Amino acid sequence: MNGIYNIEYGGKQAGKLKVYGEGIKTVFSAETEFFPGILRLAAVSNGRVVPIGVLSPGGKGLCLKKSFSRNTLDEFGLRDIDKAIILSGEDEKAKESAWSELKEPGEYFADPDLKSSCKGARGVLVSNEGELTRLAFPLRKGSPFALMPAFCLGNPAVIEGNEYLIFKIKNGSLSE
C-alpha cells in the first residue's frame, strides 16, 4: 500500500497522496490544488470507496495528514489502493425535502461517547432510508462541531444552502 498516488477530482489530476509507514502507523499525507467547499479525500480499494478524511486549507492548496493503525485499516477494508479521489458535497445528493429537524440526535447512537458528544447539538437534520437513518450535523464557522469523535467519517453535503456532514446510522452504529 505504501507509495505515491495521483489524486483525482472531476476526472483530472488534482494533487498527490503519499502513503508510508511511521512506526506502527500508516500515514496518509495529501496535498492538492485549492478547491472551495468541504472536500474529503478517499481511497478506492477493489472498487470500494474508503473515506480518509476532510481536506483543509494549507500551503498553496488543500492538505491532509492522518495516520491509522493496521487494525483500523483492516476495519475500513483498506489493504490496497487503486487510486485516490476527492469527494464533494455534490457527491452526496441530498434531497432537501427528505430532511427534518431533530432535537436530540444522541438517541440514535448506541455508543456512549457519541451520545454524549452530540448532547445539546442544534440544527441537526434527520432522514430515514429504509433501515438506515441519516443524520446531518451542521458545519458552522466559529462553532465547535458537535460530533467531533466521528468527524472524519461524515460525508459532506449542502442542504438548503448550508454545509453539513452526513452520518449513516444502522442499529445505533455508524454505517457505510
Q: What confidence tens digit (pLDDT) does each residue in 115-129 have?
A: 888 888 888 998 877
Single-letter code of the amino acid located at 148? M
123: alpha, beta or left? (left if phi > 0; alpha if psi -120 to 50): left
- Return the C-alpha cell found at 61: 492548496
161: alpha, beta or left? (left if phi > 0; alpha if psi -120 to 50): left
Bridge partners of residue 84, in order along the sequence: 7, 43
Domain boundaries, the chain: 3-87, 96-175
Q: Is residue 144 scored above 60 in pLDDT?
A: yes
Give percent above pLDDT 70 in the chain. Answer: 94
Global pTM reads 0.55
